[in-house]
Amino acid sequence: MTTKKEQSKETNTTDSSPNLEELEVGKDGAKDNSLLAIVREKEIELRQYLIETQTKADKIVADAKKEAEKLKKDIIVKGQKKAQEHYKKELVKTEKQAKEIIEKAPAKAKAVSEDGTKNLDKAIAQLKSILAPKFS
């Protein structure tokens, strides 16, 4: 007499895979050793691993965003401080240059006025010859 397994092998020789729904009874009671149960178990393990990994990745991304935001704020503060220092430095230079120009302005004005006075007669003669050539 042949068992169901043997009959199955005899009738279907192309299917040599084990039965997907075999149950094994041992000390601990019924234990499902089928390939389908093993696959289900592995799927559950992989889902748990995926959830843990996703949680870790989300935490890493959140921490990186916080750090980036902190760095951004620090850079803005440092940039504003540097800009203020540069502004003050350039303002001092500009004020110094303006003071020098103001101090030299009366002397330059006097020199230009003297040159103008000295060359006034020549300038008048030249203007007369240009504007009224017949009368000069």
Residue 78, Cβ neighbours under 10 Å: how many?
Answer: 10
Q: How far is CA 29 from the centre of its chain?
A: 59
Q: What is the mean pLDDT of residues 93-116?
A: 92
Q: What is the pLDDT of residues 73-97, one digit of tens each?
A: 999 999 999 999 999 999 999 999 9
Main-chain dihedrals φ then ψ at residue 16, nearest 5 degrees: -105, 10
Residue among 41, 23, 40, 20 nearest 32 (CA): 23
C-alpha distances in Å from residue 80, one per residue of 72, 75, 84, 90: 12, 8, 6, 15
Main-chain dihedrals φ then ψ at residue 19, nearest 5 degrees: -65, 135
* High-pLDDT (> 90) share of the chain, %: 51
pTM of the model: 0.43
**Which DSSP category does 14 fall into?**
S
* Cα Rg, the chain, nearest whole Å: 50
Q: E-assigned strands of the chain?
A: 23-26, 29-32
Please give the pLDDT value at position 26: 47
